Amino acid sequence: MRIEADYDRCEGHGQCEERAPEVFELDDDGYLTHHYEGRDLPAGLEDAARGAAAVCPVAALRVVETSPAPRT
Ligand code: SF4
């Protein structure tokens, strides 16, 4: 699976970084970096990333189901 981030919608609240810091990172100005932009997540990060998408208060993160990721 992948996560698509809507950077226009993101307000920098940071809940995604708390849930999945390997995937999402905010800089000091509150701008989001998505470390897996445009590519599938490793299987071991999928649950955390789903949790991050679920808690985003402005629904800026969308889960996209793709082919199964290889187990890591
Ligand atoms: S939780 Fe949502 S609004 Fe907050 S930084 Fe992450 S994507 Fe942006």
Residue 23 is part of which domain span? Answer: 2-64
Torsion of CA 17, 58, 47, 16, to 10 degrees: 0
> What is the CATH number for 43?
3.30.70.20
Task: Quote the CA–CA distance of 5 and 49 in Å, as a whole number.
Answer: 11
- The pLDDT score that the predictor gives to residue 59 is 97
Residue 69 lies in a domain: no
Query: Could you read off the pLDDT of 11-50 as tens digits, one per residue?
Result: 998 999 999 999 999 999 999 999 999 999 999 999 999 9
Residue 26 lies in a domain: yes
The one-letter amino acid at 64: V
25 touches ligand 1 (CB under 6 Å): no
Residue 72 lies in a domain: no
The one-letter amino acid at 47: D
- The pLDDT score that the predictor gives to residue 13 is 87
Least confident of 1-5, 11-15, 30-34, 67-71: 67-71
* 47 membership: H or E segment, kind and range: helix 46-55
Q: How many domains does the chain have?
A: 1
Residue 47 lies in a domain: yes
Nearest atom (ligand 1) to Cα of 17: 6
